[in-house]
Chain A
Amino acid sequence: MRKIKNYCFFHIKGLNQERFFTELSKKYFVFDINRYEKNKSTFKVSLRDFKQVKNKILSFGFEILGQKKIGFFHNMFSIRKRYGILAGMLLFSFFYTLQYNLIWRVSVDGVSEILDKQICDFVDTNFSKNKHNIDCKNIEIRLQEEFEDLSFASVSIYGQTLVINVKERENPVEKDGKFEPILSNHDCKILDIQLLQGTLNVDCGKVVQKGDVLVFPYVLDTEGTKRDVKPKAIFVIEQWIRGEEKHCESEIIKERTGKFCVKNEILLFGQSIYSNRENCTFESYEIEEESQAFSQNNIIPFVFNKTTYYEVKHIQKEEKYETVRENKIGSARQKALQKVEECDIIKEEKLQETNNGGVYNIVYTLTIQKEIVFK
Chain B
Amino acid sequence: MFNFFNEIKSCVGEIKQNYNIVNMSGKLVYIEGHRGLSLLSKTKICLKIRKGNIKVEGQDLIMKELFEECVKISGKIEKIEVFDAEN
Contact = CB atoms under 8 A, between A and B. Distances in A.
Interface of A: 1-2, 17-19, 21-22, 24-26, 29-36, 38, 41
Nearest to A42: B62
Contacts of A17: 40
Nearest to B75: A34
A31 B64 contact: yes
A8 to B, nearest CB: 15
B41 A35 contact: yes
B65 A29 contact: yes
A38 B64 contact: no
Which secondary structure characterizes the binding site on chain A?
Answer: mixed
A23 to B, nearest CB: 9
A34 B65 contact: no
Given A35-B42, A36-B42, A1 B65 contact: yes
Nearest to A21: B37
A7 to B, nearest CB: 12
A32 to B, nearest CB: 6
Which secondary structure characterizes the binding site on chain B?
Answer: strand
A25 B67 contact: yes
Given A25-B68, A26-B68, A29-B67, A34 B62 contact: yes
B40 A25 contact: no
Contacts of B68: 25-26
B41 A31 contact: no
B38 interface: yes
A30 B40 CA distance: 14
A31 B37 CA distance: 14
Contacts of B67: 25, 29
A38 B41 CA distance: 7
Interface in B42-87: 42, 62-68, 72
Contacts of A22: 36-37
A5 B27 CA distance: 24
B35 to A, nearest CB: 8
A1 B64 CA distance: 9
Given A18-B39, A26-B68, 4 more contacts: A18-B37, A21-B37, A30-B63, A32-B63
